[in-house]
Amino acid sequence: MTVNTIGASEVHVDAEGFLTQYDEWSEDLARQLAAQIGIGLTNVHLNVIRILREDYLATGETATIRRISALTLIPVKDLFALFPGKPGKKMAYIAGLPKPRGCV
Supply the residues annotated as catalytic.
103
Q: Which pLDDT does position 102 carry in this prediction?
A: 66
What is the mean predicted confidence (pLDDT) over 83-102?
92
Q: Which pLDDT does position 74 carry in this prediction?
A: 97
More confident site: 5 or 45: 45
What is the mean predicted confidence (pLDDT) over 36-48?
95
Please tell me the number of Cα atoms within 13 Å of 89 on its side-chain side: 9
3-class DSSP state of 37: coil
More confident site: 11 or 72: 72
Q: What is the mean pLDDT of the chain?
A: 92
